[in-house]
Amino acid sequence: MTTQAAPLTAGPVRVVGTGLLGTSIALGLRGLDVPVQLSDSSPSALALARDMGAGEPVGEASPEPALVVVATPPDVAGPVVLEMLRRHPGAVVTDVASVKAVIAAEVAAGGQDGARYVGSHPMAGRERSGAAAADADLFAGRPWVIAPTGDADPAAVAAVRGLALDLGALPVSLDPQEHDDAVAVVSHVPQLAASLVASLLVEAPESALSLAGQGLRDVTRIAASDPRLWAAILVGNAAPVGEGLRRLRAGIDSLIEGLDKAAASGPLAPGAVGALSRVIDAGNTGVARIPGKHGGAPRRYRTVQVLIPDEPGELGRLFGEVGELGVNIEDLQLEHSAGARVGIAHLSVVPAAAAALEDGLTNRGWRVVAE
C-alpha cells in the first residue's frame, strides 16, 4: 500500500467514529503496525471495526493518544474535536469531515487549545457507509486536503500530513473556506445532480428501466449515498452549494428555453440547436479537465470489458481463464440488458495487466469490447 519503510505517524492513534472512513484509516495504520485505539457511539459499529482487525476499543488502560482522528458525521465533528482537545492535552486532533469552515469556526469558538487542531479531508470514499465497506487502500493516490487555520501549530500540521502520506494519499494544503468552495463544485453539487437524475427513475416504468445502460449507471452511482450523512454535509456547506445549484439552474433554464422553442416550432426553430449544443460543448470542455480521466494522474484500475453469453457456467469459465492468465480481478460489474442473450462483464484490473489480459482473452475466443 505504501513504499515507506517506517511510518511518519507516531502512535497511538485514536480513531473516533469507526464507519467507512474511520475504519479505512485504522486498517491502513494497522497495516503499518501503528497502534490504533477505536471508539464509536454505536457499540455494534465499534465491534465490527474491531472484528475487522482495525484496532482495539478504547479502555481504562489505553495509553494517551498522540493523534486523534475524528471520523464522525460532520454535524457532530466540531463538538467531538473540542471534547478530544479537552480530554487529551498532549494530542494533535484532526477530523476528516467533508466540510471544513464550519468545523474550524466551532473549534475556534470552543475555548480549547485550537493550535493542536488541524482539519483535513481525504478526497476518497464511496457511496456506502459503515465499517463493512472499509478498505485500507481507500486513500492510495488520492488527494487529502490539509486545512489548518492560522492558529495551527506547524508540528500539528506536519503530524496530519504524515498521516495522509502514511496512508498513500497526496496532501494538498487549502484554507478551510477555499476547501469548501472547491468541494461544492467537485463533490457536493455533483452529488445533488446525481440524486436529482436518479429521482426521475422513481416513477419510470419497468419497460424504461430495462433499457438502462452504462451511461445512466455512471451518472447515478453516487445517488446511492447515505441521505443522513449527505444532508449533514450539504447544510454544512450551504452557501457554496446553493451558489453551484443556482449556476446549474441557469444552465437548465437555457436548455428548457431551447427545447420549448423546438417543441413549439420544430427541431430547426431558431436558437434551439444552439442552446443545446452550447451546454454539451461546455460539458466536453469541463469533463476533459478532470485529472485522471483524460490524461493527468493514472487511475487506480483499468476496466476490461468482455461479452459473456447468457448461459450457465460462462461467467465461471471467464473467471477461470482470467486466473489462468495470472490476472487478479480487483472489482467486477455485470451489465445485463433485459431479454438480451449476452451481458458485459466489466473487470477492474491493475493498469499494468490490462493489455495482456485483453490479448489473452481475445486469443482464447472471448469478445473484448473497447472501453
Ligand X SMILES: NC(=O)C1=CN([C@@H]2O[C@H](COP(=O)(O)OP(=O)(O)OC[C@H]3O[C@@H](n4cnc5c(N)ncnc54)[C@H](O)[C@@H]3O)[C@@H](O)[C@H]2O)C=CC1
Ligand Y SMILES: O=C(O)C(=O)Cc1ccc(O)cc1
Residues lying near ligand Y in the complex (CB under 6 A) are found at 98, 123-127, 187, 222
Query: Does 122 engage in binding with ligand X (CB under 6 A)?
Result: yes
Instruction: Give the binding range for ligand X (CB under 6 A) out of 37-45, 175-183, 319-327, 354-362.
Output: 37-45
Pick one of ligand Y, ligand X, none as the site partner of residue 20 (Cβ within 5 to 8 A by kind). Answer: ligand X
| Backbone φ/ψ region at 296: left (φ over 0), alpha (ψ -120 to 50), beta | left
Pairing of strands 367-369, 331-336: unpaired
Of 122 and 360, nearer to ligand X (C-beta) is: 122
Q: Contact at 8 Å (CB) between 198 and 220? A: yes
Of 92 and 222, nearer to ligand Y (C-beta) is: 222
C-alpha 295: how far from its chain's center? 20
Query: Does 71 engage in binding with ligand X (CB under 6 A)?
Result: yes
Q: Which DSSP string corresponds to 297-336?
A: SPPS-EEEEEEEESSTTHHHHHHHHHHHTT----EEEEEE
Query: Is 368 strand, coil or helix?
Result: strand
Query: Does 233 engage in binding with ligand X (CB under 6 A)?
Result: yes
Of 18 and 98, nearer to ligand Y (C-beta) is: 98
Query: Does 72 engage in binding with ligand X (CB under 6 A)?
Result: yes
- In one-letter notation, the amino acid at residue 284 is N
In the complex, minimum distance from the CB of residue 131 to ligand Y, in angstroms, rounded to a whole number: 16
Dist CA 345 CA 308 (whole Å): 7
In the complex, minimum distance from the CB of residue 331 to ligand X, in angstroms, rounded to a whole number: 16
Pick one of ligand X, ligand Y, none as the site partner of residue 71 (Cβ within 5 to 8 A by kind). Answer: ligand X
Could you give the C-alpha distances from 293 to 150, 186, 215, 273, 297, in angstroms and in order? 35, 14, 15, 28, 8
Neighbours of 67 (CB within 10 A): 24
Query: Does 55 engage in binding with ligand X (CB under 6 A)?
Result: no
Of 21 and 347, nearer to ligand X (C-beta) is: 21
Instruction: By CB under 6 A, name the binding residues for ligand X.
Output: 16-22, 40-42, 45, 71-74, 76-77, 80, 96-98, 121-122, 125-126, 129-130, 229, 233
